[in-house]
């Protein structure tokens, strides 16, 4: 009886330390040792909306460069705001589907990686990589001063963003010609501080846009494009 | 020395004996855990149904866009089950998981359903961890702990079958191991299953206390929470705008906003201690119902909220659950008497049999701690 009780109490202690803010006790046990026990099954994080509640709106847009099959002339499409799809999935729906966070989380990942990069690295992101392999961007980023973990995270998020832009472009502009390349961009704005007269709302804030260069149009199967259409053709209201 | 023994040693020893008694005499919170089972099952079912149209893009063969993130998948042993290129195969797997969640809600072969449900839900949602939330984590952790507890003693199909098996036992029949398994009768020693049940119940309760307390500790250090406007910011974002006009209305008045913000923090901060007294326990349970209800409706994360409420159900006493049960039964009977059609069968009123309890235990439960102590033989 007592050993079983002890196991449960030790478990609770480790979980308690894991979710707690940094303290002498937490540091004494050490992150790695706790992580070994917690990950992956008991992973949890309860600093939701805290200490600072989420207050930034993020947006994700995509466009494509479409080459007309007959004339051979190419043109860039208008920017399409994919996040608007997710807004319409949420609005008026008390139980929205999981895809409601698809581009928001992608934009969050991109912003998170950018924030940990040096200014020099950030400037490199707006270069085009539709002829040169994107792996060269990784090499250049790693060669410049800055956080290499952030490079890794950016490259992963970039691939996700490029896949989403590609799939969206195939669904939306695929019938207009050959999609030669795609581009995505993200932006964010912050809910203005609370004030009694509420003279400014989120809508009044000017978004900060972050540009990235053109990227390869990636190869997707017809079935993948077809399945993605369920999301991409959602009417944004 | 006598003073020390009487006022320190004796109370400690009697406390240890009370703990032993609590752990070994009977399985606790059986009705609360039955409610947990039903609610967390509805939570899982809700996730599956609300995302059904989006299932391919979220987790299925249409979720190719998340492939780069899968390099760091820590659940690859489970997520692999859903990693198929075939939309048909994926849909069949998805439907099977829906069936498992329904089986779990109904309490049919509950322990097996419980194991499959926690493995299946983890395999599904962790396939695209990017789209997940902390609700996935608490659902997985809670379901894992539930596996070792008795969560189908009430309001379940298993309870009915067990009652039939027990009737055969009482008729003097001897049941083989296979028969016992069929009827869901205990095959391990009662001492051991009772202890396991109660210890894991402590683990679940601790998990909930840790969750609320940590959540509150992070909030109290935030300036925006301290200034009573913390809720305004997320509620202004389109991503939490299920009913934007309602959010605007609720945050427009600074006094109401402050009350709601402080309410969110303090319900969590004092939840664990609030449970200690019968009056505050009721207040705090109503408080968390309000908190999670609000989050569910205003912020569009209903299944996370429902999972939390499911685990909070263990803190409602068996007595309160019985009162709720009786009220529901009376309501159903009243509806029936008025001749309105109700979907139920004749077994409806058959109360689930008391499990492993002696007659008159209901009376014993109502005794105060002092009375119970007085009954204990002195050491």
Contact by Cβ (8 Å): A120, A157: no
Give the minimum alpha-carbon distance from A70 to chain B in angstroms, rounded to a whole number: 31
Average of per-residue pLDDT across B184-199: 91
Q: Which among B62, B126, B219 is the nearest to A230, CB-wise?
A: B62
Q: Residue B57: closest CA among chain A residues belongs to which residue? A: A228
Contacts of A216 in chain B (CB under 8 A): none
**From A97, which residue of chain B is nearest by alpha-carbon distance?**
B51
Q: CA B214, CA B77: separation in Å to the nearest integer?
A: 30
More confidently predicted of B137 and B173: B137
Question: Which of A194, A197, A200, A228 has the most B C-beta neighbours within 10 Å, making it the best mutation to test the interface with B?
Answer: A194
Whether A157 and A110 have beta carbons less than 8 Å apart is answered as yes
Which residue numbers in chain A have pLDDT < 50?
none
Three-state DSSP state, A211: strand
Q: pLDDT at residue B346 above 60?
A: no
Domain ranges of chain B: 30-207, 222-300
Do the chains contact at B225 and A198, CB–CB below 8 Å? no
Min CA distance, B87 vs chain A (Å)? 9
Question: What is the share, in percent, of chain B residues with pLDDT greater than 90?
Answer: 80
State which residue of chain A sits closest to B118, comparing Cα positions: A41
CA distance A88 to B244: 12
Closest CA of chain B from A98, distance in Å: 6
pLDDT value of residue B216: 96
| Interface contact flag, B53 A230, Cβ < 8 Å | yes
pLDDT at residue B111 greater than cutoff 60: yes
Helix, strand, coil percentages, rounded to 5, for chain A: 50, 15, 35
pLDDT score of B358 more than 50: no
Residue whose C-alpha is closest to residue B193's, from A214, A14, A1, A78: A1
Whether residue A47 and residue B218 make contact (CB cut-off 8 A), yes or no, is yes
Indicate the pLDDT class of residue B260, thresholds 50, 70 and 90: very high
Check CB contact under 8 Å for A202 and B237: yes
Q: Tell me the chain A residues in contact with residue B233 when contact means C-beta distances shorter than 8 Å.
A: 53-55, 191, 194
B1-56 pLDDT, tens per residue?
788 888 899 999 999 999 999 999 999 999 999 999 999 999 999 999 999 999 99
Whether residue B190 lies within 8 A of chain A, CB to CB, comes out as: no
> CB–CB of B236 and A201 under 8 A?
yes
Q: What is the band of B186 on the pLDDT scale with cuts at 50, 70, 90?
A: confident
User: Confidence class of residue B357 from pLDDT cuts 50, 70 and 90?
Assistant: very low
The residue extents of the domains of chain A are: 2-38, 56-232
Which range scores top for mean pLDDT: B338-342, B344-348, B364-368?
Answer: B338-342
pLDDT at residue A236 in the model: 78
B345 confidence band (pLDDT: 50, 70, 90): very low
pLDDT value at residue B374: 59
A19 to chain B, any CB pair closer than 8 A? The answer is yes
Q: From CA B167, how far away is CA A151, in angstroms rounded? A: 67
pLDDT at B371: 54
Q: Are B101 and B117 in contact (CB under 8 A)?
A: yes
Write down the pLDDT at residue B2: 84
Using the structure block, give the residue that is written with the tokens 């392999």: A133
Query: In this structure, are residues B258 and A223 in contact, taking their beta carbons and an 8 Å threshold?
Result: no
Nearest to A77 by CA among A63, A96, A59: A63
Tokens of B124: 């599904």
**Does B300 touch chain A if contact means CB atoms closer than 8 Å?**
yes
What's the maximum distance between 2 C-alpha atoms anywhere in chain A?
A: 81
Task: Select from A4, A6, A11, A46 the residue whose CB has the most chain B CBs within 10 Å, as the one to mutate to test that interface.
Answer: A46
pLDDT of residue A75: 95
What is the C-alpha separation between A232 and B295, in angstroms, rounded?
A: 28
pLDDT confidence band for B372 (50 / 70 / 90):
low
Distance from CA of A150 to the nearest CA of B (A): 14
Which chain A residues in 177-196 lie under 8 Å from chain B, judged by CB atoms?
A: 191, 194, 196
pLDDT digits (tens, 9 = 90+) for B293-306: 999 999 999 999 99
Q: Report the phi/psi class of residue B360: left, alpha or beta, with left for phi > 0 and alpha for psi in -120 to 50.
A: left
Which residue in the set B53, B75, B252 is minimally distant from A40, CB to CB?
B75
For residue A111, count other CB atoms closer than 10 A to its CB. 18
Neighboring chain B residues of A86 at a CB cutoff of 8 Å? 239
Report, as an integer, the average pLDDT of B345-355: 44
The single-letter DSSP state of residue B237 is S
Q: Which residues of A touch B126 (CB under 8 A)?
A: 40
Any CB–CB contact under 8 A between B76 and chain A?
no
Average pLDDT over residues B187-210: 95
DSSP B169-207: HHTT----HHHHHHHT---S-HHHHHHHHHHHHHHHHHH
Q: Which residue of A has its CA nearest to B209?
A: A16
A:110-169 residues touching chain B, CB 8 A cutoff: 156-157, 159-160, 163-164, 167
pLDDT of res. B25: 94
The number of residues in chain A equals 237
What average pLDDT does the structure give for chain B? 90
- pLDDT band at B344, cuts 50/70/90? very low
Backbone phi, psi, residue B27, to 5°: -75, 130
Q: Is B307 exposed, middle or buried (0-12, 13-18, 19+ CB in 10 A)?
A: buried
The pLDDT assigned to A22 comes to 87
Instruction: Please check whether residue B105 is in contact with residue B38, taking contact to mean a CB–CB distance below 8 angstroms.
Output: yes
A205: contact with B, CB 8 A cutoff: no
Whether residues B57 and A20 touch (CB distance < 8 A) is answered with no
∠ at Cα A17 (A13, A21), nearest 5°? Answer: 155
Q: Which residues of A touch B88 (CB under 8 A)?
A: none
Q: Which of residues 198-257 of B touch A (CB under 8 A)?
A: 199-200, 202-203, 206-207, 210-211, 214-215, 217-219, 221-225, 229-234, 236-244, 251-252, 254, 257
Which residue of chain A is at minimal alpha-carbon distance from B49?
Answer: A97
Taking the CA of residue A72 and the nearest CA in chain B, the distance in Å comes to 29
pLDDT value of residue B174 = 86
């Amino acid at each position: 009886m007592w050993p079983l009780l002890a196991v449960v109490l030790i478990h609770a202690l480790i979980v308690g330390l894991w979710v707690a803010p940094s303290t002498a006790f937490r540091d004494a046990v050490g992150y790695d040792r706790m992580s070994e026990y917690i990950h992956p099954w008991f992973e949890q994080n309860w600093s939701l909306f805290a200490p600072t509640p989420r207050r930034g709106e993020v947006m994700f847009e995509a466009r494509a460069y479409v080459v007309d099959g007959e004339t051979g002339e190419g043109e860039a499409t208008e920017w399409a705001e994919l996040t608007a799809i997710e807004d319409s999935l949420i609005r008026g729906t008390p139980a929205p589907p999981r895809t409601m966070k698809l581009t928001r989380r992608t934009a969050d990942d991109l912003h998170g990686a950018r924030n940990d990069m040096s200014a020099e690295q950030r400037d490199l992101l707006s270069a085009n990589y539709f002829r040169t392999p994107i792996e060269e961007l990784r090499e250049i980023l790693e060669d410049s001063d800055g956080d290499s973990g952030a490079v890794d995270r950016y490259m992963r998020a970039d691939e996700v963003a490029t896949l989403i832009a590609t799939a969206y472009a195939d669904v939306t502009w695929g019938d207009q010609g050959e999609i030669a390349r795609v581009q995505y961009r993200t932006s964010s704005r912050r809910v203005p501080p609370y004030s009694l007269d509420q003279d400014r709302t989120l809508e009044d804030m000017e978004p900060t846009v972050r540009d990235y260069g053109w990227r390869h149009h990636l190869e997707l199967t017809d079935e993948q494009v077809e399945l993605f259409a369920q999301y991409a053709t959602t009417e944004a209201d | 020395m006598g003073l020390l023994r009487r006022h320190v040693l004796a109370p400690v020893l009697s406390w240890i004996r009370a703990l032993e008694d609590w752990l070994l005499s009977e399985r606790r919170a059986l009705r609360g855990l039955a409610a947990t089972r039903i609610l967390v099952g509805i939570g899982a079912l809700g996730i599956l149904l609300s995302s059904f149209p989006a299932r391919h893009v979220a987790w299925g063969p249409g979720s190719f866009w998340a492939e780069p993130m899968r390099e760091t998948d820590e659940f690859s042993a489970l997520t692999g089950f859903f990693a198929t290129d075939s939309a048909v195969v994926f849909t069949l797997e998805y439907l099977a998981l829906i069936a498992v969640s329904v089986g779990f809600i109904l309490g049919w072969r509950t322990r097996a359903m419980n194991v499959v449900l926690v493995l299946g839900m983890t395999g599904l949602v962790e396939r695209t961890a990017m789209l997940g939330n902390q609700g996935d984590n608490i659902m997985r952790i809670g379901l894992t702990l539930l596996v070792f507890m008795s969560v189908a003693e009430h309001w379940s199909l298993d309870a009915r079958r067990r009652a039939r098996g027990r009737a055969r036992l009482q008729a003097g029949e001897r049941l083989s191991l296979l028969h016992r398994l069929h009827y869901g009768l205990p095959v391990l020693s009662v001492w051991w299953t009772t202890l396991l049940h109660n210890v894991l119940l402590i683990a679940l309760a601790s998990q909930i206390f840790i969750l609320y307390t940590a959540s509150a500790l992070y909030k109290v250090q935030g300036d925006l929470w301290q200034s009573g406007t913390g809720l305004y910011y997320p509620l202004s974002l389109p991503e939490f705008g299920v009913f934007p006009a309602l959010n605007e209305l609720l945050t427009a008045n600074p006094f109401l906003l402050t009350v709601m913000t402080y309410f969110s923090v303090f319900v969590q901060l004092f939840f664990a201690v609030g449970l200690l007294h019968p009056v505050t326990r009721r207040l705090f349970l109503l408080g968390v119902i309000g908190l999670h209800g609000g989050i569910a409706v205003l912020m569009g994360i209903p299944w996370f909220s429902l999972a939390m409420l499911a685990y909070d159900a263990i803190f409602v006493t068996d007595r309160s659950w019985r009162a709720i049960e009786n009220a529901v039964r009376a309501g159903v009977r009243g509806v029936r008497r008025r001749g309105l059609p109700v979907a139920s069968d004749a077994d409806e009123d058959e109360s689930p049999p008391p499990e492993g309890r002696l007659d008159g235990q209901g009376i014993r439960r109502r005794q105060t701690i002092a009375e119970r102590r007085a009954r204990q033989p002195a050491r």
